[in-house]
Amino acid sequence: MTRTQVGIIGAGPAGLLLSYLLHAEGVDAVVLETRSRAYVEKRVRAGVCEHPTVELLREIGVGTRMDAEGLPHHGFSLRFDGQDHRIALTELTGKSITVYGQQEIVKDLIAAHEAKGYPIHFEVTDVELHDVDTENPRVTYRDADGVARTLECDAIAGCDGFHGVSRPTIPADRITTFDREYPFAWLGVLAQTPPSHEELIYAHHERGFALHSMRSPEITRLYLQVPSDEKIENWSDDRIWSELDVRLTTNAHDFVLREGPILDKGITPMRSFVTEPMQYGRLFLAGDAAHIVPPTGAKGMNLAVADVRVLSRALVELLQHKRGELAESYSDICLRRVWRAEHFSWYMTSMLHVDPAADDFGRRLQLSQLRYTASSRAAATSIAENYVGLPFA
């Protein structure tokens, strides 16, 4: 049996960042992760860092490699009607985003923990949370050697994702969930080829949505809208490249899709999900454990960062200064941002994807919105403001 102030379940960006922020304020924390270190450092996820996320990572001293290797972007392209329309993020907002893979942030945070001796326990099993509605919650688990252990805490942070153990620990009658599944999915590929464009491209095409993104000057990330029940076996590499070329090419034929070896491919369902409240007793949910957004708005990881920034301050106030007001308000504060991000992600998804159930009326409304967004500075500014990230609460 061991003791810490905060037990953190999950070594993704949310759990690792929370641990680092707490230790910086003198609050002890222990991170428990069911996967291996190699797995979490290689797990390819989000790649767009909002302006507030970038500023926070710099502020706490873990942004050095991001600044050296990340790709600052000052705009992105909307493509529809065979035309390219640029949303000038920096011109419209004075801010930018940085393309830097989530797994790279995880690597940086693990290295920072290692340098300072902050504890992370990988490959734990049989994780269970107990007494979370008391002031002395605890976590039981088996360590990497199979030894049964108990971690006594003052608070627990559930940062273990949508399928983790934290949210199901809360009694069903104490939370409300909001859920929406979309009738399409994303087929994503990671390709060993330089990006075909210097910025992200969001393309609306009659055959479906496509996204051109990147992870580095040598690695490109690309997505195609496919049916929600599609099988990856139906998509050969040649078919993927052919369909990307069709959906991304403009009438001006000034875009050349660079092809290369596909390193990884998979299909991701699209859904929106929110848990209210994001806390129960001394258990606080953060990141995907509390909410899921469609990836179209690039909000998932950034919401997790925003959550733990609030949570770290709330736990410092609670555990260091014995003031519980901020901890009690944690869910309300975070949910304001969560629902704004949910709306923006739904808006981008519905504007850019082809709904298989839509009639001609719906499709013309969709094109009207795209044309207005591309021609109105006010509409473009609204998208840019949400895309670069609203200020932290």
- Model pLDDT for residues 190-245, shown as the tens digit of each residue: 999 999 999 999 999 999 999 999 988 999 999 999 999 999 999 999 999 999 99
Enter the tokens of residue 37.
Answer: 């270190």
Indicate the DSSP class of residue 288: G
Query: Of all residues in the chain, what percent carry a pLDDT higher than 90?
Result: 96
Residue 13 has pLDDT above 80, yes or no: yes
Looking up residue 134, the CATH number of its domain turns out to be 3.50.50.60
Half-sphere exposure at residue 136, Cβ-oriented, CA atoms within 13 angstroms: 4
Which of these, 346, 325, 366, lies nearest to 206 by C-alpha position?
A: 366
Domain-located, residue 363: no
Provide the number of structural domains found in the chain.
1
Q: What is the tens place of the pLDDT at every residue in 279-306? A: 999 999 999 999 999 999 999 999 999 9
What's the Cα-to-Cα distance from 73 to each of 50, 199, 214, 281, rounded to whole Å?
A: 10, 6, 11, 41
Q: Which domain holds residue 31?
A: 2-50+102-178+272-348
Residue 253 has pLDDT above 90, yes or no: no
Mean pLDDT of 138-147: 97
d(CA 278, CA 329): 10
Q: What is the tens place of the pLDDT at every residue in 255-283? A: 999 999 999 999 999 999 999 999 999 99
What's the Cα-to-Cα distance from 66 to each of 48, 70, 388, rounded to whole Å?
A: 12, 5, 17
Domain-located, residue 316: yes
The full 3-state SS of 356-373, as one line of letters, equals CCCCHHHHHHHHHHHHHH
| Mean pLDDT score across all residues of the chain | 96
Model confidence at 140, pLDDT cuts 50, 70, 90, reads very high
Domain-located, residue 155: yes
Which of these, 379, 384, 347, 383, lies nearest to 366 by C-alpha position?
A: 347
pLDDT of residue 252: 84
Domain-located, residue 276: yes
Angle at 185 between CA 84 and CA 299, to 5 degrees: 70
Place of tokens 């009326």: 361
Residues with a known catalytic role = 73, 202, 295, 299, 387
Q: Contact at 8 Å (CB) between 39 and 24?
A: no
Domain-located, residue 62: no
Residue 366 has pLDDT above 80, yes or no: yes
Place of tokens 């222990």: 30
Mean pLDDT of 322-339: 97
Model confidence at 254, pLDDT cuts 50, 70, 90, reads confident
Residue 44 has pLDDT above 90, yes or no: no
Domain-located, residue 384: no
pLDDT of residue 298: 92
Q: Residues with Cβ < 8 Å from 57, sequence gap 6 or more?
A: 49, 63, 66, 105, 108
d(CA 219, CA 198): 12
Residue 334 has pLDDT above 90, yes or no: yes
Domain-located, residue 367: no
The whole-model pTM stands at 0.95
Domain-located, residue 377: no
Residue 316 zone, left/alpha/beta (φ > 0; ψ -120 to 50; rest): alpha
What's the Cα-to-Cα distance from 93 to each of 90, 254, 299, 310, 391, rounded to whole Å?
A: 5, 28, 18, 24, 12
pLDDT of residue 45: 76
pLDDT of residue 277: 98
